[in-house]
Homo-oligomer: A and B are copies of this chain.
Amino acid sequence: MVNVLDVAERANVSSATVSRVLSGSTLVRAETRAKVVAAAEALGYEPNSFARNLRKGRGSSIALVTGDIEHGIYPRLAKHLQRELELINLNLVLFNLGHRQERLRHMLQHATSMGLRGLFLASADIADMASLKPLVDRAAGKGIAILSVSQRLEGFGIDSIVHDDLAGAGMAVEHLLARGRRAIAYLGRISGSEVGRERSLGHEQALLRAGLPIDPVLVWDVREGFRSEAGYRMTSAALDRGLHVDAIVAASDELASGAIAALLDHGLSVPGDVAVTGFGGISWGNYLRPALSTIDLDVAALAERARLWLEAHEAGEAHPALVMIRPSLIVRSST
């Protein structure tokens, strides 16, 4: 492998000058610069990132820690984050926890030793967060940039960039109220967890604002996450119990798709008998029949703010502890 010394020799300069040229320093004569560039070119020189990182004391990748990269908005999030990081020459490394939630502890512990520059937490299990706090602080102390994306963790001293779920769920409920619905169920509470808490709160508060009571029977828990299957199962169960509902606000588009399937399977019409809203703005929602009305989350904006946060953080500038991105309602035929 050709290195700086080879280039230096060929260009009749020192390795320091080569380094200066290649890192774009201004203190090099144009003529010298040209010589070096030519030599590097001729030799096909490529800097060794390990050496550079070793010397600089920091790497060039950010890990995206997810619970399940396969579903919901996470694929989109990964895509947009990668694109944003590419703009500042950083790599996005994937860490999907899956069932191995304890791996998060491991990640925090070894972030530095793995040469990570930062951690985007997209699915920390909040139940554990309190016990993880010391590890987070230790990692942050070592210079790891830690940012929570898509989940509020400011309570634990972790800067967060999130969609305004409270407002989003409120918009969904208000939309349904405006359509004359009154028995508006919420599908997707995870009891005992902070995940999705704001969405369920948004539903609750919007109903209260409208002077309607909260019927606990109309708040449906899911345990297996925000997937279609859970939506189908919970909705079926509710219908089997003979519950009266005329609208469902689902915590995710996938839950909504399951709910719609269950409703149709029970011989109900959507939105005739029951209107349904999703959450997320997944691309295929528009091709369900009925097409899914949903709370669209601007993932590109989220990713961009994440990059901006990171840039500010690295530059030692002030950065916001909490950024909220306003979602928007997409009305389609399911409502």
Q: Which residues of A contact B (CB under 8 A)?
A: 1, 46-51, 53-54, 59, 61, 64, 68-71, 74-76, 78-79, 82-83, 91-96, 98, 110, 112-115, 142, 227-229, 231-232, 254, 257-258, 260-261, 264-265, 283-284, 286-289, 291
In the complex, which residues of chain B have a beta carbon less than 8 angstroms from the beta carbon of A49? 59, 113-115
Q: List 18 A-B contacts (CB under 8 A).
A: A1-B142, A50-B53, A68-B79, A69-B78, A69-B82, A70-B76, A71-B75, A75-B75, A75-B78, A79-B96, A82-B94, A228-B283, A228-B284, A254-B284, A254-B287, A261-B288, A261-B291, A288-B288
Report the bound CA distance from A235 to B144 in whole Å.
50
**With A228-B284, A288-B261 in contact, do A94 and B78 touch (Cβ < 8 Å)?**
yes
Complex CA gap A261/B285 in Å reads: 11
Give complex CA distance A59, B47 in Å: 14
Can you tell how many copies of this chain the complex includes?
Answer: 2
B228 touching A287 by the CB < 8 A rule?
A: yes
Asked if B46 and A50 sit within 8 Å, CB to CB, the answer is no
Partner of A50, one of B54, B228, B261: B54
Known: A113-B49, A289-B261. A83 touches B98 (CB 8 A): yes
Residues of B near A110 (CB, < 8 A) are: 46
Please name the residue on chain B nearest to A92 by beta carbon.
Answer: B94
Taking a contact as CB atoms closer than 8 A, the residue among B48, B64, B70, B258 that contacts A287 in the complex is: B258
Q: With A and B bound together, what is the CA distance between A261 and B286 in angstroms?
A: 9
Give the residues in chain B near A83, CB-CB below 8 Å: 96, 98
Query: Chain B residues near A232 (CB, 8 Å)?
Result: 287
Question: Chain B residues near A98 (CB, 8 Å)?
Answer: 79, 83
Query: Which residues from B are CB-within-8-Å of A289?
Result: 260-261, 264-265, 289
In addition to A47-B113, A54-B54, A289-B289, 9 A-B residue pairs with Cβ atoms within 8 Å of each other are: A46-B113, A61-B91, A69-B82, A70-B75, A70-B76, A82-B95, A228-B286, A257-B288, A260-B287
Task: Across the interface, name the chain B residue whose C-beta is closest to A54.
Answer: B50
Structural contact, A78 and B78, CB atoms closer than 8 A? yes
Known contacts A115-B49, A261-B289; A283 and B227 CB within 8 A of each other: yes
Give min CB distance, A301 to chain B, whole Å. Answer: 16
The 9 closest A-B pairs by CB, nearest first: A46-B113, A50-B54, A75-B75, A228-B287, A261-B287, A49-B115, A50-B53, A70-B75, A257-B287
Chain B positions within 8 Å of A114 at CB level:
49, 91
Chain B residue at minimum C-beta to C-beta distance from A73 = B70
Residues of chain B lying within 8 A (CB to CB) of residue A64: 94
A149 to B267, CA, bound (A): 43
With A70-B75, A113-B46, A283-B71 as contacts: A93 and B96 at CB distance below 8 Å: no
With A261-B287, A283-B227, A287-B228 as contacts: A54 and B48 at CB distance below 8 Å: yes
Determine the chain B residues whose CB is within 8 A of the CB of A78 once the complex forms: 69-70, 75, 78, 94, 96
- In Å, the complex CA distance between A232 and B231 comes to 26
A102 to chain B, nearest CB (A): 13
